[in-house]
């Protein structure tokens, strides 16, 4: 441990980062900015070529940052895990999706773990950052390292540090977001804490691997449950003929004991729709039902269907059927001002609209093409003519660049799931969530 700690404190290490997506690439850039030599590893040759060519494929990371770090020799990328022979540590940032049965798909973690163990060496730190169920690091990585003959906490060091990346957040990034770290042993925690201290302002050590794993799950379960609560409040307010947005704004004036959440067409992104289900899945194996998680998932998952119901009712009031109607969807990214489609509820809305035989087009300046969920659509220009041609406009993502005055002036009917048109003048009839 002493030798590796000395190298870390002297900034004389090379860090490998396995997985160069929304988590791995910003982490690689922050460590490289701190003067650490970083080797990014990813099986996608296009990502590797982009980075080595000085280009970024993630909006939060500008091309100039990549190009300068590559020029300085602080950052390079490879598809070959053999590059770990040059590294003193590796951070695993691979995807952890759900499979078709909504159980954890650990294949990416297992593949990365196998590669890391195959190229492991003495005085080497392995950190898992991928969000997963409590016990993953102990149950997958630790046995593989021990089976290969490594003494954890002596020969090699093992830790978990949950990623805290918020795409599109211009205030909090890798550097100024506190970093939680849990180690397999005290020595592992000390080494991992020292590593992240090079690139993060505040590192928060916790007592164990499972504690660190649960921290991330609590964070996102908190959000999922509260979004589920406010989505159900929207459904209840509709029954009571009360404006849910007014209720939320008024409740938000309380200076204590209340945190504002807003309803929407569902929840999206890699974290909030998925992470709580990892915890729920793990607890089922212990004969325990995570009732809050299950209920929140049920409510949030049904919101796209509810939105389509609003469209159907609104068209009926105009003497139109959804079957054959022209519907223009505004925004398909899962939240505003990013290009991320992962688990986006807008896609579920589109699929549901098509199932009712509506003619659907969409506009999203951040997402020029949708080729998932069985869809293959191109973003269409947002013009007075396209708005007038739509029997109904559905606002699913409230990008800052949208011309809401244009929408209000030229759309005939709008179903607004984001309260984007509130207080704006216009001729459109607006049905709000």
Active site residues: 271
Place of tokens 């598809």: 79
Query: Phi and psi for 394 in degrees, rounded to 5?
Result: -115, 120
3 state SS of 235: helix
Q: Helices 209-240 and 244-251 meet at what angle, rounded to 10?
A: 130
Separation between Cα atoms, residue 299 and residue 132, nearest integer Å: 23
Number of alpha carbons in the 13 Å side-chain half-sphere of residue 80: 4
- Going by C-alpha positions, the residue among 214, 212, 90 that lies closest to residue 157 is 90
131 and 104 Cβ atoms separated by less than 8 Å: no
Find the helix packing angle between 63-72 and 45-52, rounded to 10°: 70
Give me the residues paired with residue 330 across strands.
363, 395
15: β partners: 38, 89
Q: Are 333 and 344 in contact (CB under 8 A)?
A: yes
Residue that has been written with the tokens 């009732």 in this structure: 291
Rounded Cα gap, residues 103 and 222, in angstroms: 20
The radius of gyration of the chain's CA atoms, rounded to the nearest angstrom, is 24
Rounded CA-CA distance 19/15 in Å is 13
Q: Is 411 exposed, middle or buried (0-12, 13-18, 19+ CB in 10 A)?
A: buried
Q: How far is CA 130 from the centre of its chain?
A: 11
- E strands, 124-177, where? 124-128, 156-160
Instruction: Provide the 3-class DSSP secondary structure of residue 15.
Output: strand
Alpha carbons within 13 angstroms on the beta-carbon side of residue 264 total 24
β-strand partners of 77: 40
Strands 37-41, 14-18: pairing kind: parallel
Q: How far apart are CA 433 and CA 98, in angstroms?
A: 29
Total length of the chain: 433
Strand 326-330: give its sheet, edge to edge: 359-363, 326-330, 392-395, 413-416, 429-432
């Amino acid at each position: 441990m002493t030798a590796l700690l000395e190298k870390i404190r002297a900034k004389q290490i090379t860090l490998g980062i396995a997985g160069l997506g929304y988590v791995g690439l910003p982490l690689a850039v922050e460590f490289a900015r701190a003067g650490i030599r970083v080797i990014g590893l990813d099986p996608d040759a296009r990502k590797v070529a982009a980075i080595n060519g000085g280009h970024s494929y993630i909006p939060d990371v500008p091309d100039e940052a990549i190009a300068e770090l590559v020029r300085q020799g602080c950052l390079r990328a490879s598809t070959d895990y053999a590059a770990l022979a040059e590294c003193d540590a590796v951070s695993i940032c691979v995807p952890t999706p759900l499979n078709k049965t909504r159980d954890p798909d650990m294949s990416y973690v297992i593949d990365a773990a196998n590669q890391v163990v195959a190229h492991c060496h003495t005085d080497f730190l392995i950190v898992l950052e991928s969000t997963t169920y409590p016990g993953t690091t102990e149950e997958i990585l630790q046995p593989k390292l021990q089976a290969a003959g490594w003494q954890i906490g002596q020969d090699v060091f093992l830790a978990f540090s949950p990623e805290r990346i918020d795409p599109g957040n211009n205030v909090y990034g890798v550097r100024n977001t506190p970093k939680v770290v849990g180690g397999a042993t005290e020595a592992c925690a000390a080494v991992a804490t020292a590593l992240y201290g090079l690139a993060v302002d505040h590192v928060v050590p916790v007592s164990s691997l499972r504690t660190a794993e649960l921290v991330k799950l609590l964070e996102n379960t908190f959000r999922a449950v509260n979004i589920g609560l406010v989505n159900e409040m929207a459904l209840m307010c509709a029954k009571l003929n009360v404006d849910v947005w007014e209720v939320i704004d008024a409740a938000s004036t309380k200076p204590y004991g209340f945190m504002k959440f807003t309803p929407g067409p569902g929840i999206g992104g890699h974290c909030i729709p998925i992470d709580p289900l990892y915890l729920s899945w793990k607890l089922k194996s212990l004969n325990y039902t995570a009732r809050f998680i299950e209920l929140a998932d049920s409510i949030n998952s049904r919101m796209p269907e509810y939105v389509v119901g609003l469209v159907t009712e609104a068209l009926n009031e105009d003497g139109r059927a959804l079957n054959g109607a022209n519907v223009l969807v505004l925004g398909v990214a899962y939240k505003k001002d990013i290009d991320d489609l992962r688990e986006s509820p807008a896609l579920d809305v589109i699929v549901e609209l098509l199932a009712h035989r509506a003619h659907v087009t969409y506009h999203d300046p951040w997402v020029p093409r949708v080729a998932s969920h069985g869809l293959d659509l191109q973003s269409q220009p947002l013009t007075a003519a396209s708005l007038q041609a739509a029997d109904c406009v559905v606002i699913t993502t409230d990008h800052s660049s949208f011309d809401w005055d244009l929408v209000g002036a030229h759309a005939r009917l709008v179903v607004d799931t984001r309260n984007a048109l509130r207080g704006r003048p216009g001729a459109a009839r607006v049905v709000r969530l």
